[in-house]
Amino acid sequence: MPTPRAGLIRTQVQLTEEQVRALRRMSADRGVSVAELVREAVDMLVRTGAGVPQSERQRRALQAIGRFASGHRDTSARHDEHLEESYHPRRSDVR
C-alpha cells in the first residue's frame, strides 16, 4: 500500500459500484489516481460553495441585482443574443 503524501490525511469513504467504476475509468483516461480525482471533486465543492444553503445563495443573488452594468440598454429584451455573443464573439468584436 502506498504511503500517504505529506500534508494529506488518510480517510475512508463508501461509494456505490457505479461511482467506483466511473472513477476508475476517469482515472485511467486521465492518468491520475482515484484519490486525486476525489481531491479535485472535494476542491470543486468547496470552491463553488456547494455547502452554502439555498436560502443564502438566493439572498446573495438578489443582492447582486442591479449592481453591474453590461453597457447594453436592451439586455432584458435581447438577453439570449447577448449571451450567445459572449460565448461566440464575432471576429470583429475580438481585440
| C-alpha 76 chain-centroid distance | 26
pLDDT at 87: 84
Q: Is residue 22 part of a domain?
A: yes
Q: Is residue 52 part of a domain?
A: yes
Q: Is residue 80 part of a domain?
A: yes
Q: Is residue 24 part of a domain?
A: yes
Q: Is residue 32 part of a domain?
A: yes
Closest C-alpha among 13, 41, 9 to residue 26: 41
Q: Is residue 94 part of a domain?
A: no
Structural domain count, the chain: 1
Q: Which residues form the domain of 77?
A: 17-89
Which tens digits make up the pLDDT trace of 4-54? 678 899 999 999 999 999 999 999 999 999 999 999 999 988 888 777 888
Q: Is residue 6 part of a domain?
A: no
pLDDT at 41: 94
Q: Is residue 7 part of a domain?
A: no
